[in-house]
Amino acid sequence: MTLPTARTQAERGSADPIREADLPFALLTLLLLLIGVLMVLSASFASAYYDIQGETGHNPAYFFTRQAMFAVMGAAVMFFCSRLPTELYRKLSLPLMLLSLLSLAAVLLIGTVVNGARRWINLGFTTFQPSEITKISIILYFSRLICKYRDRMRTFRYGIVPFAAILALVAVLLVLEPHFSATIIIFLIGAGMLFLGGARLGWFVGGASLLLGGGALAVMLVPYVAKRVVSFRDPFSDLTGDGWQIVQSLYAIGSGGLSGLGLGQSRQKYLYLPEEHNDFIFSVVCEELGFIGAVLILFLFALLIVRGYQIAMAARSRYGFLLAAGITTMLALQIMLNVAVCTNLVPCTGISLPFFSYGGTALLIQMAECGIVLSVSREIPLAAEQRPSPKSK
């Protein structure tokens, strides 16, 4: 695969017009964001009203209000990030990578424990999950390293060692939380970046073997991982225990049928389905909007992913290509894994659905990521045939 390469100013010409931010990608992002916020309102009002954790004050719009606020902020963040040059992201990649590693270490010391896992840092007005910023840090910094070692990416010393060392350090910090789902996603993101960078295919076989071996070891040594695998194989064998969440998810999806029960009419969100406005919000989407509505939303996601790759392939520089393709791949991975979890195609893990799952800081980071893709699109020179001729002026 031939990747786009950076051109000098002399090669481009000083008068090369620059595009505005890609309108289709921006509109698709905002449309999915709008639908996601509405689904948070529909999915969360029951649990917010019943005030299970004593935080919502019996306000049914509690989660919706906060998500809507972060959505507005996220749209502003996206447009701000779209105005920044990709060269600035290259310069910020190392500080951001160091910040993410420090955050992962800090959460082990000062993090908030929820359901036995220490994954969040309490900021007062909201909570922050360091694994979210680590994902984008991996993309930014790996893109920088790939450009630096461009002609040596097929060697073990430069094409594997520095990347594997970073991933191993991140994995250790995540496993200590523990946060196995984030570990898997970050490994997949790292592998995707190495593939885009031109690493030898044979090394992916070895990496996949190590990952599978680590997964098997986790099943044998970590009790809750073993329970999730058992409940994945036969969730109906323990309806009131480990299989409860996935069974309720399947009930919700099955209840939706072809056209759904109607917006706001879900039954499983009434304290039956855990995490109904977070990791399992897609199940509520299926129940209320039916097969047709769920497919339409997945179609919008597909359009966003395709447009992201189109922007990547047209990028002016190699670094821009890697940024856009890496972020698009990360979004695609999270969408596919979240849907797979909700439909019991893979064992249950804590993977959110981009733009839909409740979470303020995660939403802000996702919108910033889309802003980076738009930044890449802004630096795509207009094709020669699209430039106005001197006679037309």
**Structure confidence by residue, pLDDT tens digits, 44-95:** 988 888 865 556 567 888 899 999 999 999 999 999 999 999 999 999 999 9
What pLDDT does 216 receive? 76
Whether 239 and 329 have beta carbons less than 8 Å apart is answered as no
In this predicted model, what pLDDT tens digit does every residue of 88-133 receive, in sequence order? 999 999 999 999 999 999 988 887 777 767 888 877 767 778 888 9
Spatial distance between the Cα atoms of 73 and 33, rounded to a whole number of angstroms: 12
- 291-298: long-range contacts, CB 8 A cutoff, minimum separation 24: 291/256, 291/257, 291/258, 291/259, 291/260, 292/258, 292/259, 292/260, 293/259, 293/260, 294/256, 297/32, 297/35, 298/335, 298/339
pLDDT reported for residue 279: 92
Residues in Cβ contact with 65 at an 8 Å cutoff, skipping those fewer than 6 apart: 59
What does the mean pLDDT of the chain come to?
86
Instruction: Look at residue 16 in the predicted model and tell me its pLDDT.
Output: 45
> Locate tokens 């840092």: which residue?
121
Distances (CA, A) of 245 to 50, 115, 228, 231, 275: 19, 14, 11, 10, 9
**Which residues are registered as beta bridge partners of 127?**
122
* Residue 199 CB partners (closer than 8 Å, separation 6+): 153, 154, 159, 160
Distance separating alpha carbons of residues 226 and 28, to the nearest angstrom: 39
Taking the C-alpha atoms of residue 214 and residue 80, their distance in angstroms, rounded to an integer, is 40
Task: Give me the pLDDT at residue 9, please.
Answer: 39
Which strands make up the sheet holding 127-128, listed edge to edge? 112-114, 117-122, 127-128
Is the CB of residue 30 less than 8 Å from the CB of residue 75?
yes
144 contact partners, CB below 8 Å, separation of at least 6? 90, 93, 94, 319
Structure tokens at 336: 């596919």
**Domain residue spans in the chain?**
18-381
DSSP state of 290: H
HSE (side-chain half, CA atoms, 13 Å) at 120: 17
Residue 181, pLDDT score: 83
The pLDDT value recorded for residue 180 is 81
Q: Tell the residue number behind the tokens 């986790």, with chain if given.
A: 218
- pLDDT confidence of residue 48: 87
Residue ranges, the chain, pLDDT below 50: 1-2, 5-17, 384-393
